[in-house]
Amino acid sequence: MNKTIGILGGGSWATALIKIICDSENTNRINWFVRNSENVEYIKKHRRNKFYLSSVELNIDRISLCNNINDVIKKSDVLIFAIPSAFIKNALSKNKFSLSDKYIISAVKGIIPDENLIFAEYFNQKYKVPIHHIGIIAGPCHAEEIAGERLSYLTVASENSDLADSVGKNLKTHYTKINISDDIYGTEYSAVLKNISALASGICHGLGYGDNFQAVLVSNAIREIKRFVDTVHPITRDIKNSAYLGDLLVTAYSKFSRNRIFGTMIGKGYSVKAAQLEMKMIAEGYYAVKGIYEINKKYKIDMPITDAVYHILYEKKIPKEEILKLTERLT
C-alpha cells in the first residue's frame, strides 16, 4: 500500500510523528497541517517547531507544510490526526472534502467531547469512513523521548491488516519498534482510560500518597480498563500487552505525562481552570473522564477510579475526601 501521508496537528505528538516518519526509510514525502501560519513560516525557516519539541531538527526537504487543512486533506491518502480531541470538530469545520475515501488514523488518545465517541466511532458515524479504513496509533510512547531518539514501541491497530502494516512501516526507525493489532476498539478505549488513571495517579501524588499506594492504584486501574473494554468490545485480548498495560504504566508514572501533571496540580489544590491555564497543554483525561462516565451509565461497569476522578473534576468534590473513599474500594 503506497499512499501519501498527511499529518494534522502542530503539537508535540504531531511533531514527534513528523520526526519519526521523516526518519523512516519507507516514506518519501509528508503533508503537514499546522494551524498557526506564523509557526508554519518559522518551521520552514528554522527547521524546528518553535512551540513544541523545539530541540528537534526537522527534515523540511521531505515535508510540505501549510496552514490550510483542505490542502493537506486533498493531497493525502492517509490522514494521521494528532489534534487534541477537544478541537477535532472545530478543525474539520473548515474541511470541504469527503473523508469517506481516505484512510483515517488516530494518534489522538482521547474522546470526542459531547459526542461520547472514540475517534474510530466518530469518523465512522459522522463522516461515513468505513471501519476498515480506520486505524489507531497507540503507545506506550511519549513525544519527549521520541525527540531524544530513545527506544520506543508503538502499536498500530486496525481491522485492515494491510493498512496497519503500511502505517507501521512508515513509523519504523532505528529508535521505534512497531507492534500490529486488530483490536481497534480495545486499543483506543484503553488509550482513553489510561489517561483517566494517570489523572488519578497525579491527584494521589499531589495529596502525598507514596509509591506503595501508587502500585495498588495502577494494578486496580488495569483491571478497571479490562472490565470496560471486555464489556464494550468483547474479543480475546491480552491486557498485559504493551498497548494496554505498558501505555497505562508510562502515563501513570512518567514525568512527561501531562495527565499525571494535571492531576498532581488538582491534588495540590489547584482548580481545574487554574491547572489548565498553567499547563498550557491539553490533558486528554479531563475530557475523557466525562465521556467515559456518561457511557458507563449504559453499561454500569464497576469503575471506582473513573468515578472518583469524575466526582473531583466535574462535581467539585474535595480530592482528599474522594480519594480516601477510593482507598476503601481498592484491593
User: Distances from the Cα of 130 to the Cαs of 103, 124, 126, in angstroms?
Assistant: 9, 6, 11
Residue among 294, 31, 22, 298 nearest 147 (CA)? 22
Backbone angles phi, psi at 148, to 5 degrees: -90, 5
3-state secondary structure of 215: helix
Task: Give residue 226's identity as a one-letter amino acid code.
Answer: K
DSSP H helices in 67-183: 69-75, 88-92, 119-126, 143-147, 161-170
Q: Which residue among 194, 240, 316, 325 is the active-site one?
A: 194
Give 59-71 as a DSSP string. -GGGEEEES-HHH
Residue among 32, 34, 37 nearest 22 (CA)? 32
Cα within 13 Å of Cα(71), Cβ side = 11
33 sits in which H/E element: strand 30-33
- Cis bond leading into 140, ω under 30°? yes
Task: Give residue 215's identity as a one-letter amino acid code.
Answer: A
3-state secondary structure of 117: strand
Q: Is the dihedral of CA 202, 118, 301, 141 positive or negative?
A: negative
Label the pairing between strands 78-81 and 103-106: parallel
Task: Give residue 155's identity as a one-letter amino acid code.
Answer: T
Query: Known catalytic residue: 19?
Result: no
Separation between Cα atoms, residue 133 and residue 192, nearest integer Å:
21
Separation between Cα atoms, residue 233 and residue 209, nearest integer Å:
34
Residues catalogued as catalytic: 194
